[in-house]
Structure 1
Amino acid sequence: MGFEQEAFEAIMGDASGGMAMWDEVRRAGKGESFVLRYLAKHGSATPSQLAAALKVSSGRISAVLGALEKKGYVVRAIDPEDRRGIRVTLTAAGEEQINRYRDEMRAHICWVFSQMGERRTRELVELIGEFSAYLSLCKPGGPTPTPEQVKEAFAGRETH
């Protein structure tokens, strides 16, 4: 096994090895938190747009919206542009919930960085940037990026 495969297995094991924070992040991406973040970014949406973005059934999105509505985080109303449709929008309480979630995540991540120290944190940030640049070139089912594509992705970066 080459170092590339070993690194992949180590990262996947560390990232999904039952750590509570990663489990919560995965859960957040599959329901209520995802819908709240989507609405914060897009302003409002139809239930079918939310279902497509979340890649779930209309029944599942209906259940998520019902739970968010009970908590007072979203409202569903008739679309003023299409009276047959429904628009979902955030409430002030929903916006506050997003802010709490973001602030909590920031605090946890900053704590981790404080444990790692400045030098290692800066190295990590640089490496993640490099990793992301390479990864941005990879498309599911697509070919391996060409040297020209790699050069273009790193144009303006100091190192690669």
Structure 2
Amino acid sequence: MIDSIDTDDTAAALRTATARLNRRLRAEAGQSEYTSAQVNVIRHLMEQGPATPSELARAEGVRQQSMSATVAALEAQGIVARRPDPDDKRASRVFMTPAGERAILEGRTAKQGWLIRTMTDRLTADERRILREAAALIERMLAP
């Protein structure tokens, strides 16, 4: 029973800490205005390249209407743009704009900088090593 209580407490602490860390990182990057759906689309486009709204909707498991609204909001901010799909003239492909890519990469750099400064200022070398091990465990939890 003690293990169950410890696991419950650990899960709650991890959930709370990761949520707070995510909010802080988004604030450091100046990206607190992006919704989680928008972040997912940006991540998909940065990692996979241009995609149709239908492909994005399937990848994110949402209805096409929801994805259209997400893409339209990013488009209004100049983060993404559309161009005709060369394989299907009725469809469009969504891609990151150069300004959008710059903003996202600058945000990543700001997040990384904050993490490095904070870990260096507040954690010992042993604690940073433990944190690196914890990150590997979290990655293992996320593996399919």
Q: TM-score range by the shorter chain?
A: 0.7 to 0.9
Distance (whole Å) between structure 2 residues aligned to residue 107 and residue 10 of structure 1: 25
Distance (whole Å) between structure 2 residues aligned to residue 71 and residue 19 of structure 1: 22
Alpha-carbon spacing, 1:132–1:42, altered in 2? closer, same or farther (3 Å): closer
**How many angstroms does 1:49 deviate by?**
1.3
Tell me the amino acid that sits aligned with residue 8 of structure 1: A
Alpha-carbon spacing, 1:19–1:94, altered in 2? closer, same or farther (3 Å): closer
Tell me the amino acid that sits aligned with residue 118 of structure 1: A
Structure showing greater Rg: 1
Q: Which runs of 5+ in 1 are unaligned?
A: 140-160
Aligned residue for 1:14? 17
Are the counterparts in 1 of residues 25 and 111 from structure 2 also a CA contact under 8 Å? Answer: no
TM-score by length of 1: 0.70
Aligned residue for 2:131? 124
Q: Which runs of 5+ in 2 are unaligned?
A: none
Tell me the amino acid that sits aligned with residue 126 of structure 2: R
Are the counterparts in 2 of residues 36 and 90 from structure 1 also a CA contact under 8 Å? Answer: yes
Distance (whole Å) between structure 1 residues aligned to residue 135 and residue 108 of structure 2: 20
Alpha-carbon spacing, 1:19–1:33, altered in 2? closer, same or farther (3 Å): closer
Tell whether 2:91 aligns with 1:85: yes
Are the counterparts in 2 of residues 28 and 34 from structure 1 also a CA contact under 8 Å? Answer: no
Tell me the amino acid that sits aligned with residue 40 of structure 2: F
Aligned residue for 1:96? 102
The structure richer in helix per residue is: 2
| Root-mean-square deviation (Å) | 2.9
Count how many residue pairs are aligned between Structure 1 and Structure 2: 137
Alpha-carbon spacing, 1:83–1:17, altered in 2? closer, same or farther (3 Å): closer
